Amino acid sequence: MGIVERRERLRNQVRSDIVKTAKEIAREDGWTAVSIRKIAEVIEYSPPILYEYFESKDKLLEAIRVEGFDFLQAEFVKIKSHFRNPEKQLSEVARCIWVFSVENPEIFQVMFNLEGAYCDSKRVYSHAMNIRDNPVWEMIAVLRPKSGEMVTKTYYEWWCLTYGFISITMTTQPRYAFAQAEPIYMEGVRRFIKSIM
Amino acid sequence: MGIVERRERLRNQVRSDIVKTAKEIAREDGWTAVSIRKIAEVIEYSPPILYEYFESKDKLLEAIRVEGFDFLQAEFVKIKSHFRNPEKQLSEVARCIWVFSVENPEIFQVMFNLEGAYCDSKRVYSHAMNIRDNPVWEMIAVLRPKSGEMVTKTYYEWWCLTYGFISITMTTQPRYAFAQAEPIYMEGVRRFIKSIM
DNA sequence: CAGAGAATTTAACCCTGTTAAGTTAAAACT
DNA sequence: AGTTTTAACTTAACAGGGTTAAATTCTCTG
């Protein structure tokens, strides 16, 4: 009975087509241009079909947001195992976020509601910020072995710094200026790391 | 001929009613709930009237954004003249931004496109970030007398730090948690100031 | 009081997310 | 194989959004 498997495969295909199309439109014309109807047109289905895969537009954005956070989380885990020095680990994490935001601006925008992207789900934010199993939290804990509460505070600051930098740059600077903004960002990060050591 | 003056007064009244209503709706139900039609209903005019005062919804938001930046700018000037010590000046500026964001969340949201507020105008951002006549830039220049380019870099970092902190807090934390987030913010700001001295 | 001008509204256009009802196509059963 | 059930999909509509042209009402002037 390959029928049910084939159907399942087709379902997954359509689902990923929806996500892919949303990102493509966003990348080309910004998230304000992304609509259910436009996605439907591209994947050659009628609009209501999308509701077979996502219960709302917001949930579709949430899926993309989760994808982004999960990807970064996985990268952080890799960095943690590839480098010993927590200072080095943190600066690599910072660089990783930067590169991600430059290469996948449309995902980053959904993750942080930038440039007209708007997704309600705060749940995901909180999850990403969560201490549990968070490699960056642990890096900071090694770098600055204090109470858990203190580490959480520092982690919060780290988060604000990197987020602030990238989102301000993404929002105010034109694309071509990103390259020259990166060293300023990395220098700021390094200064922060030094200031907490 | 008081007629033309009376008309002018009425025009100003209606204009400020529009702005006020927009902010009120935003404060109560968030910016996603703000629509031309709803504002019109509250001020007891038909929707097209708003276009006699603002050429688009975006321009209305821009006006509110400008208002916010202008207010802060004026506060910074006051701080600059009230305190001598640049370190003190900067921490007062930071506190000022924080207080403003807590007391006027809806304006802050428009200024930085937070929580569903979306205004296209990058012009205003750039203007606010601009070096010309910028009191904060000058504070940093006094605190850390280096080349203009270096000061601009540091000013950029300052901007990213404060913005990152407040927007992350506003987006992820519930209202009641703001009070406990403030000292973390102020501590981060102080550490930043120390790190550039 | 009639007419010119400004002020305001009505009605429409085209967009959006979303849903109920109807239709077509595919699978299952007798 | 033909009928029936069920899954897949589309059409049409609702409610609401920003915006604009045309029609209307009001106000002031001569």
Domain that holds residue A22: 1-53
pLDDT, tens digit (0-9, with 9 covering 90-100), for A70-123 = 999 999 999 999 999 999 999 999 999 999 999 999 999 999 999 999 999 888
pLDDT at residue A30 is higher than 90: yes
- A69 with A47, same domain? no
Helical pair B178-196 and A148-172, crossing angle rounded to 10 deg: 80
- Best probe of the B interface among A61, A157, A158, A167, by most B CBs < 10 A, is A157
Dihedral angle sign, alpha carbons of residues A60, A62, A67, A68: positive
Spatial CB neighbours of A183, under 8 Å, sequence gap ≥ 6 = none
Rounded mean pLDDT, A19-29: 98
- A49 with A81, same domain? no
- Burial string for A173-183 (b: 16+ CB within 10 Å, else e) reads beeeebeebbe
Paired tokens of B59 = 């321009």
Three-class SS of A88-108: HHHHHHHHHHHHHHHHCHHHH
- B69 with B42, same domain? no
- Which 3 state secondary structure label does DSSP give A113? coil
Query: Nearest-CA neighbor of B123 among B56, B63, B186?
Result: B63
- B104 with B14, same domain? no
- The pLDDT value recorded for residue A65 is 96
Residue with more model confidence, A130 or B88: B88
Torsion from C-alpha of A100, A101, A102, A103, nearest 10 degrees = 50
pLDDT along chain B (197 residues), means of 10: 74 96 98 98 98 97 96 96 97 97 97 95 78 89 89 91 93 89 94 90
- A31 with A104, same domain? no
- A124 with A44, same domain? no
- The pLDDT value recorded for residue A80 is 97
- A126 with A188, same domain? yes
Inform me whether the C-beta atom of residue B147 falls under 8 Å from chain A C-beta atoms: no
Nearest CA in chain A to B122: A172
> Which one of A17-26, A162-171, B175-184 scores highest in mean pLDDT?
A17-26
Nearest CA in chain B to A31: B118
* Nearest-CB residue to A164 (from B153, B165, B195): B165
Read off the CATH number of the domain in which A91 is found.
1.10.357
* Helices and strands (H, E) in chain A, number of each type: 9, 0
- B128 with B68, same domain? yes
> Is B46's CB less than 7 Å from nucleic acid strand C?
yes
> Is A49's CB less than 7 Å from nucleic acid strand D?
yes
Is there a domain that residue A41 lies in? yes
Please state the domain count of chain B: 2
Which amino acid is it at A78?
K
DSSP A2: -
Asked if A120 and A57 count as a contact pair (C-beta separation under 8 A), the reply is no
- A21 with A73, same domain? no
Is there a domain that residue A59 lies in? no
> Could you please report the per-residue DSSP string of chain B?
--HHHHHHHHHHHHHHHHHHHHHHHHHHH-GGG--HHHHHHHHTS-GGGGGGT-SSHHHHHHHHHHHHHHHHHHHHHHHHHH---HHHHHHHHHHHHHHHHHH-HHHHHHHTT-TT-----HHHHHHHH--TT-HHHHHHHHHS---HHHHHHHHHHHHHHHHHHHHHHHHHS-GGGHHHHHHHHHHHHHHHHHHH-
Q: How many CA atoms lie within 13 A of B190 on its CB side?
A: 8
Q: Which of A127-136, A159-168, B30-39, B41-50 has the lowest mean pLDDT?
A: A127-136
Read off the CATH number of the domain in which A29 is found.
1.10.10
Rounded mean pLDDT, A133-155: 91
* Nearest-CB residue to A165 (from B118, B160, B195): B160
Taking the stretch 16-55 of protein chain A, residues with Cβ within 7 Å of any atom in nucleic acid chain C are 34-38, 47-48, 51, 55
Place of tokens 């007398």: B145
- A177 with A118, same domain? yes
Q: Which chain B residues are within 8 Å of A118, Cβ to Cβ?
A: 32, 116, 118
DSSP A114: -
**Phi, then psi, of A109 in degrees rounded to 5:** -60, -40
Q: How many CA atoms lie within 13 A of A78 on its CB side?
A: 9
Asked if B176 and B157 count as a contact pair (C-beta separation under 8 A), the reply is no
Which of strand C's nucleotides are less than 7 A from any protein C-beta? 6-11, 15-21, 27-28
- The pLDDT value recorded for residue B147 is 86
Nearest CA in chain A to B181: A153
Which amino acid is it at A191?
R
Is there a domain that residue A130 lies in? yes
Spatial CB neighbours of A65, under 8 Å, sequence gap ≥ 6 = A107, A110, A111, A119, A121, A124
d(CA A22, CA B94): 38
- A82 with A118, same domain? yes
Q: How many CA atoms lie within 13 A of B192 on its CB side?
A: 29
Query: Closest nt to B36 (CA→C1')?
Result: D18
Touching B: A residues 1-40, CB under 8 Å: 32
Q: Integer distance in angstroms from CA B33 to C1' C14?
A: 21
d(CA A165, CA B99): 22
**CB-count exposure of residue B190 (10 Å: 0-12, 13-18, 19+):** middle
Give the domain-ending residue among B11, B29, B53.
B53
Query: Nearest-CA neighbor of A34 among A125, A115, A124, A122?
Result: A115
Is there a domain that residue A78 lies in? yes
- A68 with A147, same domain? yes
Q: Mark yes or no for CB contact B160/A156 under 8 Å.
A: no
> Is B37's CB less than 7 Å from nucleic acid strand D?
yes
A/B interface, count of CB pairs below 8 Å = 85
Q: Integer distance in angstroms from CA A119 to C1' C24?
A: 35
Nearest CA in chain A to B125: A172
pLDDT at residue A56 is higher than 80: yes
Rounded mean pLDDT, A56-65: 97
Q: Which chain A residues are within 8 Å of B113, Cβ to Cβ?
A: 113-116, 171
Is there a domain that residue A129 lies in? yes
Q: Mark yes or no for CB contact A171/B122 under 8 Å.
A: yes
**CB-count exposure of residue B15 (10 Å: 0-12, 13-18, 19+):** middle
d(CA B96, CA B111): 15
Taking the stretch 125-184 of protein chain A, residues with Cβ within 7 Å of any atom in nucleic acid chain D are none
* Nearest-CB residue to A168 (from B160, B192, B194): B160
